[in-house]
Structure 1
Amino acid sequence: MMGTLNQKVLSAEVGLLLGYLARKVLGQYDLTLLGREPVSAGKLYYVEPNIRAAEHLLGLPRNDFRMWLALHEVTHAFEFEAHPWLREHFNAMLERYFGFLKEDAQHLRATGFNGLRTYVDRIREGTGESGSWLESIMSPEQRQLFTEMQATMCIIEGYSNHVMNAVGRTLLPNYELISRRFSERQQNRTQADRLLAKLTGLDVKMEQYRLGEEFIDAVVKARGHDFARRVWDGPDSLPTMAEIRQPQRWLDRMDGRDIRRSTRPSVLASSRS
């Protein structure tokens, strides 16, 4: 009886959260992850009712707003389709992440209520650093993987936001209006919206947009767009979360790699002689 009741409560909560998320999504680049079928090109989706609602609520010009959204999602397509390693890298992280979740689920199934003590202990033994509620119940290994995934998502989302704003600023007559009203919408969220965003992880996603875009903006300002595109050279070129928060650290690492590569031939030549 209690199990049935808990399942119904959980289903209602999940339905509430999914309904909330469904009203917020405007567009999505969907690619095949963790699938058994042959890898195919991703697909772009736009949620027309949500787009119309945002246009009406914020008083946005139809064509410019849709172009602004398209710039962001099309950049996601470029990121994954032009760099096949990114899909493989993300797949590998997801497989490890779901492996951790499977282990936790098996532990709870085997230990029952006593298994919850594991999560209490994790919260007590946490690093004390600010983060999402989800991070507080992770093991150190899970938290490290989660941080790696966060860093990758920061660059994926931040790079798209940078392109959306940099290109939009030059192409769209109403860019400043759109950007300002979206910023105001974010700042003026209700307490209920803020709570649901925290519960669903949307606040984490918004932080990804902000940190990632600030990183790309800083790199472009310091070294130009060509240097910023080096984040897509391979997994080793992706910045860590520490580097995203301090872009100069990533610049120094990339410069160090360039120096080592440039001196390698001369070292080999001298050893042969």
Structure 2
Amino acid sequence: MTDANHHQISPDSPTTDGPIGDRGEGRSARGADYVDWDFAASTGRRLAPAGPSVSRQEAATLVAELRGAAAAAVEPVAQTSGLRAPEGAPAPLVVDRAGWIAANAVSMKGMLAPVLDHVVASRSKEGRAPSPTAQRLGGRVTGAEVGGMLAWMSTKVLGQYDLAPESTPRLLLVAPNVLTVERDLDVDPSDFRLWVCLHEETHRVQFTAVPWLRGHILDTARELGTQLVPESDQLGQRVQEIVSALPGVVRGETDITQVLATPEQRERLAAVTAIMSLLEGHADVIMDDVGPSVIPSVATIRSRFQERRKGSGSVDRILRRLLGMDAKMAQYRDGAVFVRTVTDQVGRDGFNRVWESPETLPRAAEIADPAAWVARVHG
């Protein structure tokens, strides 16, 4: 809530190349039309909590400090990682939860459109394409579901490099979440803001200094998404399998990816997971390597942040499992071990050969066996 003396944080607005969910009236149906993206974004904004109430001065200070911390992180990350963003790479944006939702609705639409196009084409061939009215109603329902998911996730993300499949990729820093977490942890605000920016700046460098990486990840994810959609004659069986397996996911006995994929698809998922483990682990390692030289309280921050990850409530844990976010936590850990082990064996420049091409990225088995990557790439 806000009043005359307390205000919601009013940071930058994410830029997009067009209105969210532009349905293009008057043309034939596309996959993107199966989700009402306008409704998803508006639902997400309506459901998302506004975040902590702050004075106008506190809001201005927070936004200014995040911008300054993002700028201050650039040089230490470049020197420590050996990667440098090219001149002209977009600067980070400081956003509120509504801004994060708007940006991610656009990005999800761009990411999922080819996958949903595949669904449309398959149904059209079988003569099962829905009527325009049914499609609009279905799009609303799906849009509401996506909006609810975005609302929940908008309270969890501190920062994100938005790949923006059909727009301008750039780093987003979610101001109210940074403020919430630093208060929960009772840590030095300036130190925590810089610590977060070190991690996120590493992601910005990964995708701007390695120009092929963004396209490779987008193409791989879209191809995998298309493969994960079951054919119509398999749909009933797959739904039954998913429903029967969901209790195990909720209890933490299995991973959501084990439910949604066939054994062959799990191999492809493992390959994608290996890339994400590399990116997240690398960002964590750079953040912690830089930290002691520029952040006096970095040890306290890391310790309390790790404890916070363990201490989520039961409902939060269930949602994390259903959205696959528990797997993301493992990516930080496994990826960091890979990065440190490889760097210890072949040095920073030897490790940085991972960025040469898709062929030098670690394979799924190599994340757990860094020596195998070293043997394959370095001989």
1:232 and 2:359 aligned: no
Equivalences, count: 237
SS of match in other structure, 2:277: helix
* Structure 2 Cα separation of the partners of residues 120 and 139 of structure 1: 14
What is the aligned partner in structure 1 of residue 336 from structure 2? 213
* Structure 2 Cα separation of the partners of residues 28 and 240 of structure 1: 24
Q: Percent identity?
A: 36
1:99 and 2:231 aligned: no
- Contact 1:119–1:137 (CA under 8 A) maintained in structure 2: no
- Contact 1:76–1:156 (CA under 8 A) maintained in structure 2: yes
What is the aligned partner in structure 1 of residue 105 from structure 2? none
Query: Paired residue for 1:52, among 171, 179, 182?
Result: 179
Query: Paired residue for 2:155, among 20, 23, 34?
Result: 23
What is the aligned partner in structure 2 of residue 61 from structure 1? 188
What is the aligned partner in structure 1 of residue 204 from structure 2? 77
**TM-fit CA distance, 1:14:** 4.5
- Contact 2:203–2:279 (CA under 8 A) maintained in structure 1: yes
SS of match in other structure, 1:218: helix
* Structure 2 Cα separation of the partners of residues 147 and 123 of structure 1: 23
- Contact 2:162–2:171 (CA under 8 A) maintained in structure 1: yes
* Structure 2 Cα separation of the partners of residues 44 and 13 of structure 1: 26
Q: Structure 2: which amino acid aligns with 1:135?
A: Q
1:189 and 2:312 aligned: yes
* Structure 2 Cα separation of the partners of residues 149 and 218 of structure 1: 21
- Contact 1:135–1:143 (CA under 8 A) maintained in structure 2: yes
Equivalence map 1:105-254=2 (5 Å): 107-108=231-232, 111=233, 115-118=235-238, 120=240, 132-254=255-377
* Structure 2 Cα separation of the partners of residues 215 and 223 of structure 1: 12
**TM-fit CA distance, 1:218:** 1.2
**TM-fit CA distance, 1:169:** 2.3
CA deviations 1:151-198 (Å, max 9, x no partner) are 111111111111011111222101011101101111222222211110
SS of match in other structure, 1:179: helix
- Contact 2:256–2:324 (CA under 8 A) maintained in structure 1: no
Unaligned runs of 5+ in 2: 1-135, 245-252
Equivalence map 1:253-272=2 (5 Å): 253-256=376-379
**TM-fit CA distance, 1:134:** 2.9
- Contact 1:159–1:213 (CA under 8 A) maintained in structure 2: yes
SS of match in other structure, 2:320: helix
What is the aligned partner in structure 2 of residue 263 from structure 1? none
Unaligned runs of 5+ in 1: 125-129, 257-273
CA deviations 1:62-119 (Å, max 9, x no partner) are 1111111111111111111111111221122023123224x52xx34xx5xx732145
- 15 and 251 in structure 1: CA distance in 2 versus 1, 3 angstrom threshold: same
What is the aligned partner in structure 2 of residue 267 from structure 1? none
**TM-fit CA distance, 1:32:** 2.9
SS of match in other structure, 2:156: coil
* Structure 2 Cα separation of the partners of residues 89 and 71 of structure 1: 24
* Structure 2 Cα separation of the partners of residues 215 and 117 of structure 1: 38
* Structure 1 Cα separation of the partners of residues 324 and 221 of structure 2: 17
Q: TM-score under structure 1 normalisation? A: 0.77
* Structure 2 Cα separation of the partners of residues 243 and 20 of structure 1: 33
Q: TM-score under structure 2 normalisation? A: 0.57
* Structure 2 Cα separation of the partners of residues 216 and 226 of structure 1: 12
Computed over aligned residues only, the root mean square deviation of the Cα atoms, in angstroms, reads: 2.8
Q: Kindly indicate which of the two structures has a greater share of residues assigned to helix.
A: 1
- Contact 2:271–2:363 (CA under 8 A) maintained in structure 1: yes
* Structure 1 Cα separation of the partners of residues 145 and 225 of structure 2: 22
* Structure 2 Cα separation of the partners of residues 131 and 149 of structure 1: 18
SS of match in other structure, 2:291: helix
